Structures are given as C-alpha cells and as structure tokens.
Amino acid sequence: MMHRKAWDGPSPVPETFWKQEKAGKARDGGCLIALMDEILRLVSAHIVFAGFLFFIELVILIPEVREEAV
C-alpha cells in the first residue's frame, strides 16, 4: 500500500492532458474534466490566500491608520 506525502507538488493532470492532446488521443470528457478540476483547485487556493490578506489588512493595518489619523 502506497502512502502519499502531505504535498507531492502540483498534480500531473494538466501535463497528462497536454501530452494526450498533442498525440491526438485526448478524450472529450475525462481529461477535460480533470483539467477543469485542477484549474478550480488553483483558483480556490488563490481566493483563500486573498481572503487571508484581506483579514490581515482589517485586523492589523486599518487600526494603525486610524491611530495615526487621530
């Protein structure tokens, strides 16, 4: 039984998709759905990171600006 590490790096799905596309063997459904899943995963990670930065701005930076203005 194989055990995965916590993070093995980026998923090989897009690379596999492009290799199959170049070879003319890409199926209409399976690989495209896997590629869309990978894109959705990347977009959601960016949304979470943007939310984290927004939280830092609300908690740390805005109170400092208000103190300087007073």
Please write the tens of the pLDDT for every residue from 3-56.
555 555 555 555 566 666 666 665 556 677 778 888 898 999 999 999 999 998
- Whole-number pLDDT of residue 1: 46
- Whole-number pLDDT of residue 48: 93
Reading the block at residue 51, the tokens are 């939310």
Whether residue 45 lies inside any domain: the answer is yes
For residue 44, what are the domain limits? 13-69
- Whole-number pLDDT of residue 23: 65
Q: What is the mean pLDDT of residues 47-69?
A: 83
Whether residue 27 lies inside any domain: the answer is yes
- The answer to whether the CB of 31 falls within 8 A of the CB of 20 is yes
| Nearest 10 degrees: Cα torsion 9, 12, 13, 15 | 130
More confident residue, 60 or 47: 47
Number of separate domains in the chain: 1
Torsions phi, psi of 37, nearest 5? -65, -40
